[in-house]
Structure 1
């Protein structure tokens, strides 16, 4: 009996030890002390959290919140953007964030808030600012750096954010209010869409004294600077929550105030003022915010004149809307219209629907006396007719069917399509007005190549850009329209197609105001734009000037069709304005960039002009940056610093699979001509890394652990086997008794 009891106890003990060995083998998964940065499961994430997949599981990531506060004062908007960087990890991190701003915005202020300390940034030459930032980062000091990658793409870098810390980075910029007829508007870009960056071109060049060598020309040398990780909305919650508040002081009694893409709550303190807030609080940064307002009266003021005195100079901003001349009073020439539609992968989702609806509308508006053609492009290009054809019902029917069958896919080789559109085989035919209507989201990184193409080939053509989607590249659109002597129209939803296309055709079908000039009677003026553009129906002519004195008047002359037109404005009638010196300087910088593109100035002379203006007026440009450094070191010596590049949402309405799920090389379609030269090699949206995509819940892996788990499991199985054998043996020994 004692022997049997001994074996029984021994068997039970072995069984317990075996189970214990199995449990110990998984001990690091839930009972081990957490490492410096906690490993998380997706189910552990709080609302709005972002998890990164790593070899150790999922890690909580640096979080970003954005607050945008806009104050409209008559013709100008002052904007304060506060980016709140929160570090929930146990690491010291450096954060970088790529974000958009309006292309015409003059960025002039940077503040960094650390606890109760406010550090104000300084404008420096770009390389000097970067060197100051890198030294501060190395010293363990908190620092912030604001750099311009494009006039509408900026990067903020923040160094040495400690574990559990929150750092606020605040930038401010000035921009003009936009006007179209009786409607005024502002736009807040909220996300940078992924850009298609054409691959570098390898070409033969003479690099050696004895013969040929090979050189590489990259159309997007800064491709890494304008690209961020993009989250798949099907697998990730939205990030970067953004709050928007607008303090609208229009300067005249207000009528309708409307937000086109966000639900808002509007307060009305008085007849000329509105306070606009998001109705549901912060929203994901995945589409532009657009606000429009109209005067209570039927007609908006046709002339606005504003002044500001800074230093020893006076600055003037003038808005003048020429009177409309009805088409019936003129004898308009017939038109040759070349429609170009982008059907690349970035146009997937709702964008291609908007583009096709817009082009179908435009085809229906053609007159029997017009002629037209249609070009579609992705990384390939196809021209519908060999040459422009008459706008009869048969040709329009064929074109409508062609457009209806388009699908979004592939890369965005925009330059060959623009070159084809500007190819004017009928350039000697003065009986037709030639117009190019270009529909795209502008999601490319080689904007400069497109600008140079327009500048070199525009001839008698006028280029009208139609921006499609929730986050178009407005810098590309506005500059391309300026160089092409046309206009830019944005269509952000299918509901806007009819209204916005009607406005575009009012410009296409009616005479522009041409041969514009401005002359000051007494003051010496430095005027921008230096060459006044043509102005289309319902558009104001916007002038900015730096004056030595605010006396006399300015006379603006032009021609509307075949009729002369002029207006004289006494400068003494100008109202007080804010930030006009910044806007003047920003527009002078844009003039220098255009002169550089059109080769009216050498790159060296243009850069010298840009740098002088930027330093004098304290503006961020391609050549200058804002840097702020906290003098007190905060990161302990020896503590490592980790880089955290914050991801972006996919712009609303975009199709993630069209951008990142397709093959980078597409088969040729019969009858198509390859826009890339025929080899079919296409680079889709060259990002720094692959987009972040967390695993589906059913495939979550437990963290890998550097333990002897396998040996413990084997030992546990052996002990279990031995214990079972002992139990069987024990039963046989005790059964007779």
Structure 2
């Protein structure tokens, strides 16, 4: 009997141990399952997410084709970047160009995606059309006040509807957001704009920027503290408007193939017999159709979006037009576009005016590579051209500054040689703190000598985000000085360069390659050495001065035409448009008969675009900002234009994303502009994506440890993965989806495991009590 009792007791003890172990294992397994359930999603038979919070997100090991991955909100998961292809058609008719930009967004992932593309357009572009193509249907975008357009877009995105939103972040930087692109789906968005052809020195040109260069964005600072209604707190003023909107992930060209292919065609109808037609930076095919028409297309069908496209053309010998007048009748009004090239300054025996030239050269990290070499060659050439009676100085800047002579000095041979040697020894590195250099050039060079002409020549790529700060400085401090800007590199910030020169009563010159240095600087020297055409004004019977743009008219230099637009309040105006000015001390005037104007298209858009520019310029006169915003919005809405205060939004009425399916957000990555040095701009190379930074010329933060470990494991498993593009690509990024751990989820995991442990312990206690009861009630022969 005792043997049987021992056997029973042994079995019960074994059963108790087994049950305890089973409960512990169940609790542990439940904890593991619950934990993974919070950070993973249900997977279909093919191993891809089928629903849940992380649908459409991937890990590096899940990618089986070349992809660009960016960190998602969840640790260890990534978003596949939308892919982009762009087609550009440019139709030039005389002095006006109409451009259609077709952007094809492809979602390579298995989840729903919102894509954001930061892209450039010319600073004088009048953007008036947004269309979204879904299958065979085209959905026309509507112009709305900026905030209203944003609300319409966000609501459509939340409801699962396809939507597109086009916003202006700068006059030359736009963002296109496309919501609810389905798995493997392609959405086509078309943008159209009007642009005036540029003319200078008998050469006509058109430029299409292809990439937004990384901007140096100074940190917010408090210059003046204004307390809010006695609340006791003040907010620092940010010198960079919408800083998160003008930045995008930039690929390291040492580790990534170039992306974002662009196909481009120009249909050129010059309106006069053509001579040379050239593409400055791209190889093209040119087909001739008569003596006035050409068709220009890129060789090889497409090119990566990494530098500006520039087309130039000249008239056949002796055929260059000296004046033009065009009109468009719209909604009971007449819009005029006029240009006239003033005669050359009369040759006099008077000696040229003495000049005081302050040269400012940018040697920040963004200028590394060909840009700094072009800038140094340009500046050395300019210094060598100075006359012995001139005075000059050289200022260089990155995130520090050097005033070489500490003031103006005589342009003696010795001083010129010293300055040229200093310039040739410059290297490019560091940030782009442009404001202190500009302040030094405008404020600290002493008074202008009697009879002298003060000129400030700024050589830079303009890769900054605080343009408004610099414009304010020019408006307040230029005095009698004239500011000339020289845009350097493959993708200069033409908005900053053009506006700075306009506000400084100077001119803007672009140099995009080494072979342009001599010719473009030669044109600049001609302008520097000749007095400007001043006191330009335009009048027309019955037309208010503010209806003629630009207002006021800028000064002009040798070879530059007067270009203006006007709004007339009737369909068939009569009379003449009169333009007057001075070339040196010689008065000049031209009369243009309105009845002889040729028909033109899109002139109303050009007038409205320039009118908005005139209104924006008044912000430096400290006009009431609320009133200014209303005026800008009113003009933009009336002419269906994208502006700082208005946006275009297109929404499909039919929801396409199923309810409950999440949508992930990713910016379209950009190429580094051609010739830029990634390491100089973003710092030392790293094996993984790096954290966001608002100051791209400084070294950015270190890569995340988790991704580095994933990348190392992936590389160990597949040594060729990096070359095949399977690893998440290294990029410099801004405001990408969050990569930090989610504290709220970690807390929920801990609470869940604690609850499971307590449940398991309670269950074990109940089982023990039941066993004790069995033992207490058993008969002796059962023990």
TM-score calculated relative to the size of structure 1: 0.84
The reply to whether residue 651 of structure 1 matches residue 673 of structure 2 is yes
In structure 1, the residue matched to 2:655 is 633
For the structure 1 residues 522 and 297, does the alpha-carbon distance in structure 2 shift closer, same or farther, using more than 3 Å as the test?
farther
- Among 546, 550, 555, the residue aligned to 1:534: 555
Moved more, 590-599 or 457-466: 590-599
Residues 1:50 and 2:68 are matched in the alignment = yes
On the 8 A contact 2:407/2:446 being kept in 1, the answer is no
Residue 622 (1) aligns with residue 644 (2) = yes
Contact 2:327 2:600 in 1 (8 A): yes
Tell me which residue corresponds to 1:474: 494
Q: How far, CA to CA, are the matches of 2:302 and 2:553 in structure 1?
A: 41
- State the Cα distance separating 1:598 from its structure 2 match: 3.1
Q: Distance in 2 between matches of 1:690 and 1:274?
A: 51
Q: How does 1:301-450 map to 2 (within 5 A)?
A: 301-325=321-345, 329-423=349-443, 425-427=445-447, 429-450=449-470
- Do structure 1's residue 547 and structure 2's residue 565 form an aligned pair? no
Equivalent-residue separation in structure 2 for 1:39 and 1:214 (angstroms)? 44
Task: Show CA shifts across 1:128-157 (max 9, x none).
Answer: 000000000010000000000000000000
More strand by share: 1
Provide the residue aligned with 1:181 in structure 2.
201
Q: Distance in 2 between matches of 1:596 and 1:203?
A: 18
Match of 2:619 among 596, 601, 618: 596
Kindly indicate whether the alpha-carbon contact (under 8 Å) linking 1:140 and 1:637 is maintained by their aligned counterparts in 2. yes
Q: Does structure 1 retain, via aligned residues, the 8 Å contact 2:683–2:700?
A: no
1:440-494 CA deviation, whole Å, 9 max, x = no partner?
A: 0000000000000000001000000000000000000111011100000000011
SS in 1 for 2:91: strand
Change (3 A) 1:253 1:687: farther
- SS in structure 1 of the partner of residue 236 of structure 2: strand
Shift of 1:45: 3.7
CA–CA distance in 2 between the matches of 1:392 and 1:544?
Answer: 46
Q: Is the 8 A contact 1:224 1:687 kept in 2?
A: no
* 8 A Cα contact 1:491 1:497, kept in partner: yes
Between stretches 390-399 and 218-227, larger displacement belongs to 218-227
1:208 Cα shift?
A: 8.1
Q: Compute the displacement of 1:370 (Å).
A: 0.7
**Conservation of the 8 A alpha-carbon contact between 1:317 and 1:580:** yes
Cα-to-partner distance string for 1:393-442 (whole Å, 9 max, x where unaligned): 10000000110111111111111111111126543523210000000000
Q: CA deviation at 1:587?
A: 0.2
2:589 paired with 1:576? no
User: Are the aligned partners of 1:60 and 1:89 in contact in 2 as well (CA < 8 Å)?
Assistant: yes
Q: Decide which of 627, 645, 651 is 1:605's aligned counterpart.
A: 627
- The structure-2 alpha-carbon separation of the partners of 1:210 and 1:283, relative to structure 1 and needing over 3 Å to count, comes to closer
State how far apart, in whole Å, the 2-side matches of 1:494 and 1:65 are: 29
Deviation digits for residues 259-279 of structure 1 (CA, Å, limit 9, x no counterpart): 011000011122111111001
| Structure 1, unpaired ranges of 5+ | 1-30, 664-680, 705-737
Alignment partner, residue 700 of structure 1: 715
**Cα contact 1:228–1:687 (8 A) shared by 2:** no
Q: CA RMSD in A?
A: 2.7
Number of the residue aligned with 1:121: 141
Cα deviation for residue 521 of structure 1 reads 4.1
SS at match of 1:242: strand
Deviations 1:539-561 (Å, cap 9, x if unpaired)?
A: 01111100124211112111111
Corresponding residue of 2:47: 34
Contact 1:379 1:682 in 2 (8 A): no
Q: Deviations over 1:612-651 (max 9, x none)?
A: 1001001000000000000000000000101121111000
Post-superposition shift, 1:685? 4.8
Asked if structure 2 preserves the Cα contact closer than 8 Å seen for 1:427 and 1:460, the reply is: no
Q: CA contact under 8 A between 1:462 and 1:486: conserved in structure 2?
A: yes
Structure 1 residues 270 and 690, CA gap change in structure 2 (3 angstroms): farther
Counterpart CA distance in 2 for 1:682 and 1:106 is 29
Q: Verify the 8 A CA contact 1:102 1:187 in the aligned structure 2.
A: yes
In the alignment, the residues of structure 2 paired with residue 83 and residue 68 of structure 1 have an alpha-carbon distance, to the nearest angstrom, of: 9
Matches within 5 A, 1:207-286: 207=227, 213=233, 215-286=235-306
Distance 2:287 2:701 in 1: 44
In 1, Cα distance between the equivalents of 2:186 and 2:251?
23
* Distance of 1:236 and 1:69 partners within structure 2: 28
User: Alignment partner of 1:216: what SS?
Assistant: coil
Aligned to 1:106: 126
Q: Given the two structures, how large is their TM-score scaled by the length of structure 2?
A: 0.80
Match 1:512 to one of 525, 532, 537 = 532
Q: Within 2, Cα distance between the matches of 1:272 and 1:685? A: 46
TM-aligned CA deviation for residue 232 of structure 1: 0.2
- Give the conservation status (yes or no) of the 8 Å contact 1:229–1:687: no
Contact persistence 2:684–2:699 (CA under 8 A): no
The 5 A counterparts of 1:684-699 are 684-685=696-697
Which structure's CA Rg is the greater one? 2
For 1:220 and 1:435, how far apart are their aligned partners in 2?
Answer: 27
The 8 Å contact of residues 217 and 694 in structure 2, kept in 1 or not, is answered as no
SS where residue 595 of structure 1 aligns?
A: helix
For structure 2, the 5+ residue unaligned runs are: 1-43, 50-55, 686-692, 719-726, 728-783
Q: Is this contact kept in 1: 2:327–2:335, CA < 8 A?
A: yes
Tell me the CA shift for residue 56 of structure 1: 5.9
